[in-house]
Structure 1
């Protein structure tokens, strides 16, 4: 199938999926309100096969050290799949299934599958990383850019993490867990019971970002948008908290954004 943009609809909700632009969600409209910041860098993109920054672009797998391109010097950031052209495997009115084959500069063969499912009151994103060859460490995450202001109302964030990863001067976790600090944030938080973050635009919309995963990065240092990023491990997690993909065990993750009118 082609890599043209896909429009999913359910009730008065509409999502645009862009296979040719990293399988990102290019837009999500609810009752005519656009929830995601627009532009080629924004929307919501998958972070895979790693999330956030890798320190100096290097990660170790056993005795082998791999070097990734430094696309956010001095680090590598947000994986490689967001820059690729994905294939559309299946589309219906409210669901799209996309695939991407891993290749250079990532050193291991593998396949990523993302399912985008829209209902009248929720968007669910599911992703799997599979290999039929060598095992390798990987991460899965999503990086949505939610508009800070909807119809004249500024967003309010509400979440209760168990801890915050102390952030070093290089924007990477130091390895220490600290009590959560007030924002603004560009920080990783631990939520062992699963991610749950509520965004409220008063008198307009309440949206809850949930995931069974226990890590979330919250970024609200820009005027135009806030980011709530569920992921399977912390930044630099290929080195500090690796999850192994094997021929018998894919890495799988999911997140749901559910909303209600206010």
Structure 2
């Protein structure tokens, strides 16, 4: 492992963040006052979803009238992008800030660069993506997939609270049908629309309240696993390369940020 691929640890007060660029530039650990918030394991923590989020239907998308086929890594669909399976390079690493990048390559059909930055404070973490093209314009998405522990060891299980404008109806193939429904009670593996920006509160009773916010309008909430829950702000809905394409152009990169802020209870 080269020095550029070593884990990077940020620390402010008693808050510690560890990023593993060699394993998809994922957050492998977020500890607040010695308490780990993220599920541990090489597939967990918090990984980037880029250059698409969630499922791209049957691995197929169009750029204008040019068809492309992505590897079907979650049959019958292509899921969560290529960034989590790629070794990123460290651009800078300080005590409380770090930046990483990788160059888009096969199986993604367009050249470009993805950057991810981390900014840690005692009571917050801000994450940001930039996706830029080296040539042709292309549709892309970016977002984050954190696995927050359901229980922090004491106190009750986490409670998830949010007020969404709508819920995307999920078809039998797990793709949005295009219909928008009133937000339903969980359990969820669902995408919600928040046109005023993502705003979700996780509360671990008697321990911690954590807010996930973003100016992005889409969030996937997944709480069907016993160990952890996921609150995933993203720049578009699942299958959005096809249904709501946001183009990365030579003069307009795709940019998205999210802030997690917390207070102890």
1:132: how far off? 2.6
What secondary structure is seen at the aligned counterpart in 2 of 1:115?
Answer: strand
- C-alpha distance in 1, partners of 2:21/2:106? 19
Deviations 1:23-73 (A, max 9, x none): 000010000110000001100000000000011000011111100000000
- Structure 1 residue runs of 5 or longer lacking an equivalent are none
Residue 151 of structure 1, CA deviation: 2.4
Aligned ranges 1:30-179 → 2 under 5 Å: 30-152=32-154, 153-179=156-182
Give the alignment partner of residue 198 of structure 2, picking from 195, 199, 215: 195
CA distance in 2, matches of 1:137, 1:112: 14
Report whether the alignment pairs 1:238 with 2:241.
yes
Secondary structure in 1 matching 2:22: helix
Q: 1:25 maps to which residue?
A: 27
Q: Could you tell me which residue of structure 1 aligns to residue 185 of structure 2?
A: 182
- CA distance in structure 1 between the aligned counterparts of 2:36 and 2:200, rounded to whole angstroms: 19
The alignment of Structure 1 onto Structure 2 pairs a total of residues equal to 262
TM-score, structure 2 length as denominator? 0.98
Distance in 2 between the 1:41 and 1:108 partners?
Answer: 26
User: CA deviation digits over 1:142-187, x for unaligned, max 9?
Assistant: 0000000012231001000000000001111000000111100000
Match of 2:259 among 249, 256, 260: 256
Structure 2 distance, partners of 1:150, 1:160, is 25
* TM-score of the two chains, using structure 1 as the length reference: 0.99
- The one of 6, 9, 19 equivalent to 2:8 is 6
Displacement after TM superposition at 1:131 (Å): 1.1
Q: Deviations over 1:194-223 (max 9, x none)?
A: 000000001100000000001000000000
**Distance in structure 1 (CA, Å) of the matches to 2:172 and 2:226:** 22
Distance (Å, rounded) in 1 between the aligned partners of 2:15 and 2:28: 14
The aligned residue for residue 210 of structure 1 is 213
RMSD (CA atoms): 0.6
Match of 1:150, SS state, is coil
